[in-house]
Amino acid sequence: MKIIFASNNANKLSEIQAALGNEFHLVSLNDIGFFGDIPETGRTLEANAIQKARYIFERFNTPVFADDSGLEIEALNGEPGVDTAHYSGTRDATANMNKVLAGLNNEKNRNAKFRTVIAYIEGDRELLFQGEVAGSISIEMKGDQGFGYDPIFIPENGNRTFAQMDKSEKAAQSHRIRALEKFVAFLKGLKPEQSE
């Protein structure tokens, strides 16, 4: 079964292909010759993931999935949320983290969660799979591993940021992997006649 992943992120693609095994053949946007921009105008992770998947499905009529992830902070009313990648107005990770830390200055409630939503479209079916990891925002940046907000996010029941953990330790608590596990379990449960 061929499935389009509405992304060109090679790392994500190989990670997902490894989880799926040989029954499914993942193809990227490059593989299908799509080099345009996909609109992301939704104001929730769910809306963005569905919008991206629909945009590609309407053009290629092949099973497709897309994902969107974000950091949601209680004291900031769920921000940065869908604006996670460019919260400061740029894609600069340090500027984004500084804006979060400034917004939480003197704030006791530092509860936060990372969330990933995967939208899958096949025929007239649209399904959502979600993974999340709860935690809190540290007082300052710590660690030099990972990317994005990893230096300020401490997963629950821990005392180190994601950026202070090695890849395998972080992956064991990853919101992306939790969403992906649900999606892979769904795909592997498809009967052959459903995926013809």
118-131 confidence digits (pLDDT tens): 999 999 999 999 99
CA 89 to chain centre: 20
Nearest 5°: the CA angle 168, 169, 171 is 60
Residue 69: closest CA among 12, 15, 29, 154: 12
Sheet of strand 111-122, all strands in order from the earlier edge strand to the far edge: 25-27, 2-5, 64-73, 111-122, 125-137, 153-155
Q: How large a percentage of the chain has pLDDT more than 90?
A: 76
**Domains of the chain with CATH codes:** 2-195 (3.90.950.10)
* From 67, 68, 83, 150, the catalytic residue: 68
Q: What is the pLDDT of residue 135?
A: 98
Q: How large a percentage of the chain has pLDDT more than 70?
A: 96
Read off the pTM.
0.88
In the residue annotation, 144 being an active-site residue is answered as no
Query: For the segment 72-89, what is each residue's pLDDT rounded down to a tens digit?
Result: 999 999 999 999 999 999
Q: What is the pLDDT of residue 19?
A: 77
Q: What is the pLDDT of residue 94?
A: 97
Query: For the segment 133-164, what is each residue's pLDDT rounded down to a tens digit?
Result: 999 999 999 999 988 999 999 999 999 999 99
Nearest 5°: the CA angle 32, 37, 40 is 120
Instruction: Work out the average pLDDT over 41-62.
Output: 96
Q: What is the pLDDT of residue 195?
A: 42
Q: What is the DSSP letter of 89?
A: S
Torsion of CA 121, 72, 69, 11, to 10 degrees: -150
